[in-house]
Chain A
Amino acid sequence: MTANFSTEDSEDLEALFDSIVAANREADSQAGSAGAEFSFPLLRSDLSADREQGIPSSQPPALPVQSSDVINRIGLMTRTLHDALRELGLNKKIEKAASSIPDARDRLNYVATLTQQAAERVLNATEAAQPLVEKMEVEAHRLSGQWQMLFEKQLDVEQFKDLAMQTHAFLHDMPKQTKATHAYLMEIMMAQDFQDMTGQVIKKIIDVTENVEQQLLALLLENAPAKVKADSNPGLLNGPAVNPDGRRAVANSQSRVDDLLEDLGF
């Protein structure tokens, strides 16, 4: 217990532990005389542990407490403290993982911005190209109708001359119009270049998400009942739940993660 405790780096928690040990010693020395009252307001969970044991901690026991009871209670409190410490230690790792989330949020905002810009570029280009295409269509229809009238001998010489001029003007103008349309099509194509950059960003966010998942799993595993831990050890873990650098659990596939969560009752 002491060895595990020493691995925790919070001085506040060490001080808390020391104060409880000191209080226990005092209580121990009083045990057998007036009956000891244990009161550790900082550790509420030890009260609930006492209730589970059927010992009302809010009032002194009616009979003098036997020394074995005291040892039992010290054991329970130490266990509670240890669990709390361990949870706090892992919380720090969770915090580290979670601190990467704002970065992921920025990245997602970047993706949102890029995709929005691309959508706007595409819509602008489309809206600009449509009137050009429509104008060409209308004009071609009109000239085609005039030529049809000519073939039906409904046009006189002056009208024919006029039609020839208009048709030439239309054909002359055509490459300019198609070139402009082509430029808008190129604009639409180039607007798709966001996909490369957003793709890279999304890959990074997936890494962050996986890391957070690993940290949460490590926390669950650390606090899992011994049986589940033992069951999950051979397949799921190469040794301890958290690897030596304490950053990453080694649960490595989705199905194993699913199995573990199921074992833990989630």
Chain B
Amino acid sequence: MGLQDTRFLVVDDFSTMRRIMRNLLKELGFMNVQEAGDGVEALDKLRAGTFDFVVSDWNMPNMTGIELLQAIRADARLKHLPVLMVTAEAKRENIIMAAQAGASGYVVKPFTAAKLDEKLMKIFRTMQE
């Protein structure tokens, strides 16, 4: 499977951000993108379908991004999934918490397409090692 076939799940409670992320991923050559509005919906979709990569917001209703990350890492079938946190939470303790919970990468909003590309490529490289 080529890198471009990576199946993404974009998790954000704001539809605008999901669309922006979908368009950015398309721009970077990733066409296979699905969306979820919060952690609960994301977990349902992850358990029901097949995904290769999760891009998640932090601050969401019902289930936050960090709770989703913890749930993914606690699930035997999902725990291998790379999770990139894309969030406005730029505080030191947030970043430490995400790292300890097993996030694969952390992008602070607002961000550029180049920044997203850089983080994605870094995660892909780590996965191949």
Contact = CB atoms under 8 A, between A and B. Distances in A.
Among B14, B23, B88: residue with most chain A CB under 10 A: B14
A196 B113 contact: no
A80 to B, nearest CB: 48
A126 B23 CA distance: 18
Interface in B91-110: 109-110
Given A196-B17, A199-B14, A190 B112 contact: yes
Contact of A190 (B14, B57, B113): B113
Contacts, number: 35
Given A199-B14, A200-B88, A193 B59 contact: no
A196 B23 contact: no
Contacts of B16: 192-193, 195-196
A192 B22 CA distance: 13
B27 interface: yes
Interface residues of B, number: 16
A190 B59 CA distance: 20
A193 B23 CA distance: 12
Interface of A: 186, 189-190, 192-197, 199-200
B20 interface: yes
B109 A189 contact: no
B85 to A, nearest CB: 14
A188 to B, nearest CB: 11
B88 A196 contact: yes
A200 B87 CA distance: 12
A195 B14 CA distance: 8
A200 B13 CA distance: 10
Nearest to B88: A197
Contacts of A189: 20, 23
B109 A197 contact: yes
Interface pairs A-B: 8 shortest CB-CB: A195-B16, A196-B17, A196-B14, A193-B110, A192-B16, A189-B23, A199-B14, A197-B88
Given A193-B17, A196-B14, A196-B88, A186 B113 contact: yes
A193 B115 CA distance: 15
24 contacts: A186-B23, A186-B27, A189-B20, A189-B23, A190-B24, A190-B110, A190-B112, A190-B113, A192-B20, A193-B17, A193-B110, A194-B110, A195-B14, A195-B17, A196-B12, A196-B14, A196-B16, A196-B17, A196-B88, A197-B88, A197-B110, A199-B14, A200-B59, A200-B88
